[in-house]
Amino acid sequence: MAKKILYLLVMCLVSFNTVNAQKKNVIEKSEDEIKMFNAQQSFYAGDFQKALSIYKDVLAGKPNDANVIGRIAECHFEMKQYSDAQENAEKAKSIDEKAYENTALILGKIYHMNGKLTEAAAEYAFYKALVGDSKKADDAEIDRYIKQVNTAKELIEKPANVTVLNMGDNINSEYDDKAPMVSADGKTLIFTSRRPGKTSALDKEGDNGYFEDIYISKWDTTKKAWGNAELIPGSINTDGHDACTSLSPDGKQIYLYKNDIEAESRGGDIYVSKISSSGKWGAPRSMGKPINTTYWEGGGCISPDGKSFYFISERKGGFGHGDIYVLKKKTKSEWEKTPVNIGADINTAEDEGGLFLAPDGKTLFFTSKGHNSMGGYDIFKTVNENGKWSTPVNLGYPINTVKNDYCFSLSVDAQTGYFTSDRTGGFGERDLYKVDLANYPVLEKDMKPKATNGPVMAILKGDVFDATAGTGMEAEIVILDETGAKVASTNASEGSGEYFITVLANKTYQIKIEVKGYKPIDEKVEIKAAKEGATTVVKHYLLYKK
């Protein structure tokens, strides 16, 4: 009897401890579930640091949980801590590659951006097979990544015949440098940087980096190199973000992006600054309606003849986020009332940006990851032929890489290109690069060298003066080819009488200027391409009253 009672007491004690242990396990599991839920909510809200902290707390009690480790990798990836992301993703995969499906996607993206294309393709394929039909909405995204890897392989196997060089520490810094724009004469470089500049304040409401400022560098003809970059003189830079997006062909106007909290749009608008006779840049003024709206506008560029303005906008009615629009002039001084989206052949569901219209007035370079990109953003070109834009063409490797490559611009002689990239080996976050295009005629349709290596553009500029008053005057300059067909026209500015236009070199043109009350100008001008550098022909005209 005593043994039976002892047995019952022992069994009760075991049962009590088992129940307590089970309750304890349930409580622990419940606490972890709450933590995981809170971490996911923080992640979806964009607070990746908070999500990471919670996941690490959970991991302390479950050091080999592949699901948690995979989510930690995802947080590091979103914070651009790619080394930590890769380390954790590879660890999660080694424990259980199926525990968290996004682990494969993260590894694929990391391998992709590091140029490990075979490994990236394998991870993308594994991810697609793993999710199966559970993520139909993500099919297009993963298929795009797979296509990017295939494009990268193809372009790297057949590189363009170019030489790409970092522009050096006279220009680049340890900070973010972007958007190089060179004047038509090749003597002035303007770009945007987030180094300490106009102010040492940090954008605490943004990414806690320095505010953007615009910098300038001058070409040293003796040293054949760019001088040290300096803050651009004048009133163009403010205490907020000031970013150049293009330079007018004559080098006298900068188009820039500003996010002015006092502006009506509150979304970011396009501004223009003009240079004064003293060489200082004036305070930027808004381009106004219909270019700027209550939506985000992210910069633009003007055509060489000054009659079309191309810009980026997120306004309603587009094909994606930021689309390319064009606004044309109706008269010498009046613009059309409604900008036109340049179409679905160019604009995609992704962002387009980084606009530059070549000196030929018909080749548009832009940045996108919505076309056949190698990964991230690539630089593309499209040509306006008979009023229709051609299918965008990737400029190829090594101009484009698996990293992000943006904001291409081109010298008048089409021998040198400039662009921004975050590729490995730079001085900072993004750097400015130049590319030798002597053997890669980017203005040719197929970009293949010909017997006569592509079109050569030239600058035709000068003044139109009233011969009696000795003052500059407004006038239209019409340019005809040898057959008498009109090939271009531009207007001399009121007050200064200055004009500027780019035309094909190695041709003879007929120049006509007709102003009411004055004797007309009608003369031939031969423009021969310079042996080196930009071709510039200066013609001054005096108009005599009848």
CA–CA distance, 328 with 337 (Å, rounded to integer): 9
Query: Which pLDDT band holds residue 22 (cuts at 50, 70, 90)?
Result: very low
The pLDDT assigned to 136 comes to 54
User: What does the DSSP 8-state code read for residue 21?
Assistant: H
CA–CA distance, 546 with 540 (Å, rounded to integer): 19
pLDDT at position 209 over 60 = yes
Residues pairing with 297 in the sheet: 313
pLDDT at position 124 over 80 = yes
Is residue 495 within 8 Å of residue 505, measured between CB atoms? no
CA–CA distance, 460 with 520 (Å, rounded to integer): 19
Query: Which pLDDT band holds residue 3 (cuts at 50, 70, 90)?
Result: very low
Mean pLDDT, range 191-199, rounded to an integer: 91
Among 81, 73, 76, 53, residue whose Cα is nearest residue 123: 73
pLDDT at position 6 over 60 = no
The pLDDT assigned to 362 comes to 92
The pLDDT assigned to 29 comes to 56
pLDDT at position 251 over 70 = yes
CB atoms within 10 A of CB 154: 14
Measured CA angle at 49 (ends 44, 50), to 5 deg = 70
Structure tokens given for 502: 């780019």
Query: Of the given ranges (283-297, 340-354, 420-434, 486-500), which has the lowest mean pLDDT?
Result: 486-500
pLDDT at position 512 over 70 = yes
CA–CA distance, 344 with 318 (Å, rounded to integer): 9
User: What does the DSSP 8-state code read for residue 281?
Assistant: B
Q: What are the C-alpha distances in Å from 291 to residues 298, 311, 319, 389?
A: 11, 8, 18, 21
Query: Which pLDDT band holds residue 265 (cuts at 50, 70, 90)?
Result: low
Structure tokens given for 184: 């038509």
The pLDDT assigned to 306 comes to 87
- The residue among 323 and 136 whose pLDDT is bigger is 323
| Helix orientation angle between 102-113 and 139-157, rounded to the nearest 10 degrees | 20
Query: Which pLDDT band holds residue 260 (cuts at 50, 70, 90)?
Result: low
Tell me the whole-structure pTM to 2 decimals.
Answer: 0.86
CA 363 from chain centre, in angstroms, equals 17
The pLDDT assigned to 409 comes to 95
Residues of the chain with pLDDT > 90, as a percent, come to 69
The pLDDT assigned to 18 comes to 45
CA–CA distance, 314 with 292 (Å, rounded to integer): 10
Among 242, 253, 236, 349, residue whose Cα is nearest residue 309: 253
Burial of 130 (0-12, 13-18, 19+ CB in 10 A): middle
The residue type found at 159 is P
Query: Which pLDDT band holds residue 27 (cuts at 50, 70, 90)?
Result: very low
Query: Of the given ranges (11-15, 88-92, 428-432), which has the lowest mean pLDDT?
Result: 11-15
Mean pLDDT, range 84-111, rounded to an integer: 96
Burial of 408 (0-12, 13-18, 19+ CB in 10 A): buried
Chain mean pLDDT for the chain: 89
Measured CA angle at 441 (ends 436, 446), to 5 deg = 135
Q: Which residues contact 80 (CB under 8 A, 6 or more apart)?
A: none
Is residue 228 within 8 Å of residue 242, measured between CB atoms? no
Query: Which pLDDT band holds residue 268 (cuts at 50, 70, 90)?
Result: confident
Mean pLDDT, range 306-322, rounded to an integer: 93
The pLDDT assigned to 331 comes to 82
User: Which secondary-structure segment (H or E) carries 409?
Assistant: strand 405-410
Among 73, 48, 47, residue whose Cα is nearest residue 59: 73
The residue type found at 146 is I
CA–CA distance, 214 with 434 (Å, rounded to integer): 19
The pLDDT assigned to 198 comes to 83
Query: Which pLDDT band holds residue 320 (cuts at 50, 70, 90)?
Result: confident
- The residue among 251 and 127 whose pLDDT is bigger is 127
Is residue 182 within 8 Å of residue 188, measured between CB atoms? yes
The pLDDT assigned to 134 comes to 59
Among 261, 209, 256, 263, residue whose Cα is nearest residue 237: 256
The pLDDT assigned to 495 comes to 84
Residue with tokens 């180094």: 195
CA–CA distance, 109 with 403 (Å, rounded to integer): 11
CA–CA distance, 405 with 422 (Å, rounded to integer): 7
Structure tokens given for 449: 């060298």
Is residue 73 within 8 Å of residue 62, measured between CB atoms? no
Residues of the chain with pLDDT > 70, as a percent, come to 91
Q: Which residues contact 89 (CB under 8 A, 6 or more apart)?
A: 70, 73, 77, 103, 106, 107, 110
Buried b / exposed e over 524-535, threshold 16 CB at 10 Å, is eeebeeeeebbb
Mean pLDDT, range 304-323, rounded to an integer: 92
Q: Over the stretch 471-485, which tens digit does the pLDDT of each residue have?
A: 999 999 999 999 999
- Phi and psi (nearest 5°) for 423? -60, 160
Kindly provide the residue ranges of all beta strands, DSSP E only, lying in 260-357, ordered along the sequence.
269-274, 285-286, 297-302, 308-313, 323-328, 340-341, 352-357
The pLDDT assigned to 305 comes to 85
The pLDDT assigned to 231 comes to 96
pLDDT at position 452 over 60 = no
Alpha helix ranges (H) inside 132-253:
139-157
Structural domains present in the chain: 28-157 (1.25.40.10), 163-436 (2.115.10.20), 457-543 (2.60.40.10)
- Phi and psi (nearest 5°) for 520? -70, 155
Structure tokens given for 32: 């972890």
Burial of 390 (0-12, 13-18, 19+ CB in 10 A): middle
pLDDT at position 457 over 50 = yes
pLDDT at position 25 over 80 = no
CA–CA distance, 432 with 138 (Å, rounded to integer): 34
Mean pLDDT, range 111-137, rounded to an integer: 87
The pLDDT assigned to 15 comes to 44
Mean pLDDT, range 79-106, rounded to an integer: 96
The pLDDT assigned to 61 comes to 93
Q: Using omega within 30 degrees of 0 as the cis cutoff, is the peptide bond preceding 520 cis?
A: no
Among 302, 362, 346, residue whose Cα is nearest residue 487: 362
Is residue 421 within 8 Å of residue 379, measured between CB atoms? no
End-to-end distance of the chain based on CA atoms, in angstroms? 139
The pLDDT assigned to 19 comes to 42
Query: Which pLDDT band holds residue 520 (cuts at 50, 70, 90)?
Result: very high
Return the SS3 of 69: helix
Residues pairing with 311 in the sheet: 300, 325
